Structure formats: C-alpha cells, structure tokens
Structure 1
C-alpha cells in the first residue's frame, strides 16, 4: 500500500516529453518501454489490463519515433501510449466488456474514438478492465494506492492504469459516475465532456453515456480529447467538443457555487472537512463562493432531490433489452448483480420512463438558470475515499454498489454538462477528488478553471 499525498504524487505525463522527441534526447519507443517496465512491476497487484498488444504498440511507437525524427508528428499526442476501456471496440484486440457472455468477442473494428487516436499517432497499448457491461458488478482491478480498495467503476482499469503511472492517459465512459468517480479514487485528472462531445461510435444505446479521458495532467487530458474531437467529431446530432486545440490556459473563477446533491448527508466527516478546506482556500484567493441559500442554487438543489433514482431509472430502462437478450441467450454468463438490475428495469413502464425524462428536463432547466450566477459548480467528485471491497459473501445479500456510489456524479451525467476531476485532496492517505462542473458546451471553461485550481490551490491533506 502506498499512501497518497497530492503534494508529492507525480503522475506520468506525455506533453512534456515531446521536446525530447524533437531534439533526439528521447523517443516514443523509449517512452513506451518505460511504460511497459511499470506495467510489469505493478500489474500483478493492480490487475487493470484485460489484454495488451505489445508487439503492435512497439511497431506504432517505432513509426512515431520516425515521424518525430523527421519533424512530422501527426499531432501533439503522436506516440502517446493509451489504454482503452474494454467497452470500446478495437480492431486488434477483443472487446469482452467484463462479461462472461462476451468472452472471446472480437469484432475486429475500431470504435470511432479509437480510430481517431490511431489517426493522431497515439499508441493503443491495450484494453483496460471494466465492470460487467459498464454496470455495478466489479472486475479484478484494485486501487493503485491500496489493493484492498476499489478503483471505482465502471472505468476501473482506465483509472487505475493512470493512477499507477502505467500510461499517461486512457479512455473511459460514464453513464452515472464512471469517469469522474474512479478518477477521484485513483488520483487522476479526468474530463467527462458535454454529452456527445466525443463520438461514442457503436455505443449509442443509452442517452447519458459519454466517452471521457483519464490522464495524469490537464494538458494530456485536453490534447487526447481534442485529438478525438477534431477527427471523429461528436455523437450524431451533437456539435462535438468545443474549445481551442491547445490546452486552455488557467482561469480564475469569479464566483463558484457549491453543489451538495443528495449525497451531502452521506459524506463522512473527514471528507466533508477536506472539501470545506478547499472551499476556504478558494475564498482566500478572492473567489466568491455561493451555497444553497442563494435562490437559484436552492432551486437547483431542490431539483436534484431524487436525481439518482431518476438517472438509474432512465439507464435501466434503456439497457434492459440488451440485458434481457443476454440473459435469454446465456443466463450463466451474466452476474446475479446485473440480473437484479434487469429485474428492477422490467418492473418499469414506458410511462415511468417518460416521467423520468420530464424530471431530467426540469433539472436541466434549473442548471441552465445558473448561467450568469456562477462560473462553475464545485462538489466532491466521490462520496469519500475509495471503499474497501473484499468481494461478495456467499449467502449474504449482494452489496449494491461495490465500486462506490455515483450520487455526486449524477448531476453532470443527467444534465449532460462537462465535469473535470481535480486531485486536490487526500483523506486517510487515499485520493479524494474535487469536481468542477460548468454549463453545456463550456468544456474549455471547466478545464481552464480546473487548471487554475491545480496551479493555485494548495492541496488538502485530511
């Protein structure tokens, strides 16, 4: 177990290595080999990779080395080793979705975001562990700072490979809290973009699913996201990620609002104290901080009541045909936890779904009403540090959320707003992330504010 201190931890980064690629002091192949050394040392404990393609990665890194030597890199991330969540298809590795029913599934085609990364010269190193079908049933991955704890879900492997310094960036996806929360548990920076900001390719089934980026730095996070958006665009009917090609410069917010959500009463005292210390440090920098006694924020918080149940209801309804068909075809290939999710969804009706959508639209309207009131909302990115997960106990009820609750992440997912995880605190020697959320299509603003916080606010040790 390695205690986490955000003041000292140095994540693996790529953007600052490219100067060496240009002058010949370093190469993408050498960078990859260093990643492989870290993987060899840490993977037996962290268990974040489903499969790797080392031979293909080395060939891609050699091609990138030649381009940098010739002064013709394809993009700023040319040569960057990346992990791909095993929900997203890859032409050279199977896509098994953490599910026994999909064991051996190998479509031999690239997801849109994966294709875009290859076009930008990135080195697709391997597939990272996901929870079963991106749901609540965990895979084998452990937290890189404490192997008894979860790395979060469903982007468990993507968060862990970045937190363990195996690669500088990895793709995840979020429906409830699957990018922002695991990043917070593993000490990462992460972007859950505006809904549809990055093309999901084949994964269009659920209305709140979003492809996002885990990274060790704001710069790498943004460069990976832009590499995808400028090549593959956004989802059908969506404008794609909006913002400059270069990472946005740090921007101090004038006014931020605290977003407590339904999760506030569940937050343990140490985590609540750590968050409040971050709030006080923002005030010390001249930032005005508003709470729920501000009328528009109070109305927004009122609209968040029941939001977690609403989000679960929407996603359960939208997924239940897939789950139903899988159970019909291979009942033994689906976990009891996923079967329980299906059973709950089967009890709902189209009218239930319609009412959930009405509730979601009301929440979005309340959030839009905060335009001009606050520059951003801040909140815990997770309900305390990563919980200990020792596995299900035979004969006992299943733990509903072994990878942690998404209650603090539901707002950005349901609204479709961009959110960035900022590793600004630790609680009990474990990462405890803060999130920055802004209005739809203002991803660059969220990133700029997050960058300012990282560069200005002294981390909190709780």
Structure 2
C-alpha cells in the first residue's frame, strides 16, 4: 500500500461526473462499474463491506442513466453509489450491526436516510462494516493505507470504502467519535451534523447518536446530507439540517478558536506539529486564531471539557443499558467482553447518576454557547494523531480499551450536539490525520463553508 500524501491523493468524487452524464460521455451505470472494479481489487484486504447488492445497484444505476439521458435527474446525487453503515436498516439487505446476536437480522425496511437517498436517485450499493453495535469492539476492516492499522470506528467500513476508492460517499453514525475520527484516519471529508439534523429513523435510543456522511469531496459530502434532510427531515422534535441546496461557498473566517480538549497533553510531537503548522497557515491568511489564554470564555470552555469523555461515555452506557441487558439475558455470549464492560458500567449507575451527567453536559453546552460572539468556529485535531496499529486481541491478554482509536477530540461535538467537519489536510508518518471544524448547533453550513475554504486555501502539511 502506498503512503498517504494529501498533496496528491484523490478520493473518488461524484459531483464532477454529472456534467458528463448530461452530455452522454459517461453514465451512472459506467460509474458504478468502476466502483465495483475498485471493490473487487481492494476488498480482499480492506474488508469494508458486509454485503453487496450488485444486482439491485445495477438496476438502480440503469434507471438513473435513463433519467440523465432524458434530462430529468431526481437530484444532483442521482446515480451516486453509496455505502450504508450496517447499523441502518435497508429493505433489500440484512442489518446485522456487527453483532452475533443480530446475525441474519433482515427487517426488510429502510431507515429514514436510506429511504431519502433512494428518493433522490442514489444507488444503495451495500452495507459497510460497523463495530459491534456501534461500540468499541472492532470488525474486520483494515486501514486502506496500512492494513496493520485500524480505519477507526464505529463507521469503519464507511470510512475505508471511501478512502479505498470504492464509493464516493457512505453513511456513518457517531455517538462519541464514529464519523469524525475514522474520517481523520482514512483521509476523508466527513460531516457530523448538528444533533438530530438528519432523521435517524429507527435509531432514536441514544441522545448523542447522529447520522453523518463520509465522502471523497466536501461537495459530495454536503450534497448527500442536504438531499437526505430535504426529504426525511430531522429527528422528532429537532430542526432538520438547513442550508443551501448546493454546497456552501468557501468562506474565510475572521476569528477561529483552538479547542485543545483534555487530550491535548497526550498528543504526540509530530501530530501536534502538523496542527500548529495549520494554525500558523491560518494566521498567514489573515485569520485571528485564539487559544485558551487569549480569552476567558475560551479558557472556561476548555476547563469544562475536562472529564467530558467519561461523562459522555457514562450517558451512552446508561442509554444502551436495556438493549445490552436484554441481549445478554437471551444469550450470555450474545455480545463481546467490551460490550459487557459497558453493561457493567451502566449496571453500577443509578438514575440520579445519569441525571447528574446530563446536568454536566448542559453546563458544557452553556459555556460553548457563550463562545458564539467570540469565535466563528473552533478547530482541533480530528483524531489524536494517525490511526493506531491494531493486530487483533491476543488470547489470554487484557483487552485493549480503544482498539479503533481514542475519541477524546470528538466527544465535545457529540456531547454539545454541534456540527463538525473533518478536513483531510495532514499526514503523519505516511498516514492521514484530519483537522476538524466545529461550529455552534444549527450552523452546519457555516462549518462546511469554513472547512471548504480551509481545504482550498491551506496547503497540506506532511510530517515524516
């Protein structure tokens, strides 16, 4: 596998193919066949897919080809091959959630976002690998740039499928860091929308779960997200993702803030170096970049982030409590030892413990809201360095706590319900490392516009 270099790497894109669909020099069916060729070439090592529906995809691509030929595409993503994380239901493929307890589970109905994609003419190609139940226990997927490393979790297959050139976009979900972090590890653009901005359909059980988009370009990322939201809306009681029908124009910010989080001290020297070079490049472009020592409200926000990873983990453990308990009651071996550890955490909590964690979360949200007049967005590493090595569990040895990587830089956006965008700007030791842009809730378009500007205006940073 070739080392990753953001100065030359190009993931598959779709938005720039549609003019050729209009003039007949290319077709959605031919585009799909190129995706299938890439899957055939790389899937034996990357292992991004649980199941493919090639026949159904070809039928959908042929229908899209006819619409483009007639000049009547259903949307700008009509004909786009897309992967669906195997936590989201699909009417034509099983939904097995990376968990033995759901092996063969086939509800034969579409998740709200999947339904919206079909309505927009997208080609639902297959189900991508997820970690067990979207948690910490990894699946078989490898990193497209180094098979010895993790692609991240829990949206492992979605991130890897895009980075390996198999599809231009894929759906993921995030509770802690499951969209933003794997995008960082795999060199993708990704959007984790404001909480509830994309209708989760059947997946309403946890308060921080959010459907997001992995893509090879920021244009495709936004277009997929907005086409879903325009059809399926947001979660019950939540405003849907809003913004322009086309990708937001790039916009240079005037003032950004750095979000260090409690993970800053553990960041390795090379990863810290590439981030600081990005900060200096922003300043060279005339952007004011504030650190925690530059403004008391930013310092107060950083102080509130201490302990946030543990707090959000406890909230999610409590909210998954009854699902995990019921699975174990049916079969003691239904879930992994890692998931059983989450169940044990929840069993040790009380409703009062959960209430206190929610109050803590609201306090951090208040401190984040107070930053709105101070900075237009916050920037941070999208992961604590490049993807870690992962060779699998060793029999007889303690389980590694975070085999798919540490979400310490991602739990803030999840706990705050704030939109975040990964920008693939950096490489460390031949592996991707993204920079994230996080805005205030409901400011997804602003985060995307700033991220798009950064992708065009800031030269990629590479550290050996």
Return the TM-score normalized by structure 2: 0.99
Aligned to 1:387: 388
Aligned to 2:307: 306
Distance 1:334 1:307 in 2: 26
Aligned to 1:271: 271
Matches within 5 A, 1:247-326: 247-293=247-293, 294-326=295-327
Mean CA deviation greater in 387-396 or 12-21: 387-396
Distance 1:167 1:331 in 2: 37
Distance 2:324 2:2 in 1: 38
SS of the aligned residue for 1:355 comes to helix
Aligned to 1:410: 411
CA displacement 1:154-184 (0-9 Å, x = unmatched): 0000000001010000000000000000000
Q: Which runs of 5+ in 2 are unaligned?
A: none
Distance 1:330 1:279 in 2: 51
Distance 2:392 2:64 in 1: 42
Aligned to 2:220: 220
Q: CA deviation at 1:330?
A: 1.9
Distance 1:128 1:170 in 2: 8
Aligned to 2:184: 184
CA displacement 1:164-210 (0-9 Å, x = unmatched): 01000000000000000000000000000000000000000000000
Matches within 5 A, 1:128-139: 128-139=128-139
CA displacement 1:341-373 (0-9 Å, x = unmatched): 111111011111000000000000000000110
Aligned to 1:333: 334
Distance 1:97 1:266 in 2: 32
Matches within 5 A, 1:99-248: 99-248=99-248
CA displacement 1:379-420 (0-9 Å, x = unmatched): 000011000001111111100110001000011000000000
Q: CA deviation at 1:2?
A: 1.7
Q: CA deviation at 1:83?
A: 0.1
SS of the aligned residue for 2:292 comes to coil
SS of the aligned residue for 2:333 comes to helix
SS of the aligned residue for 2:251 comes to coil
CA displacement 1:234-280 (0-9 Å, x = unmatched): 00001100111110000001000000000001111100001000000
Matches within 5 A, 1:7-86: 7-86=7-86
Mean CA deviation greater in 324-333 or 96-105: 324-333
Distance 1:426 1:47 in 2: 23
SS of the aligned residue for 2:57 comes to helix
Distance 1:246 1:78 in 2: 14
Aligned to 2:397: 396
Aligned to 1:367: 368
CA displacement 1:67-93 (0-9 Å, x = unmatched): 000000000000000000000000000
Distance 1:173 1:446 in 2: 18
Q: Which runs of 5+ in 1 are unaligned?
A: none
SS of the aligned residue for 1:333 comes to coil
Q: How many residues align?
A: 462
Q: CA deviation at 1:333?
A: 2.3
Aligned to 1:350: 351
Distance 1:48 1:266 in 2: 30
Distance 1:348 1:238 in 2: 28
SS of the aligned residue for 1:42 comes to helix
Distance 2:157 2:331 in 1: 25
CA displacement 1:38-59 (0-9 Å, x = unmatched): 0000000000000000000000
Aligned to 1:461: 462
- Alpha-carbon RMSD across the aligned residues, in angstroms, is 0.5
Distance 1:274 1:311 in 2: 28
Distance 2:191 2:57 in 1: 25
Distance 1:63 1:24 in 2: 15
Distance 2:352 2:2 in 1: 50
Q: CA deviation at 1:332?
A: 1.7
Distance 2:332 2:318 in 1: 19
Residue 437 (1) aligns with residue 438 (2):
yes
Mean CA deviation greater in 343-352 or 127-136: 343-352
Distance 1:436 1:246 in 2: 20
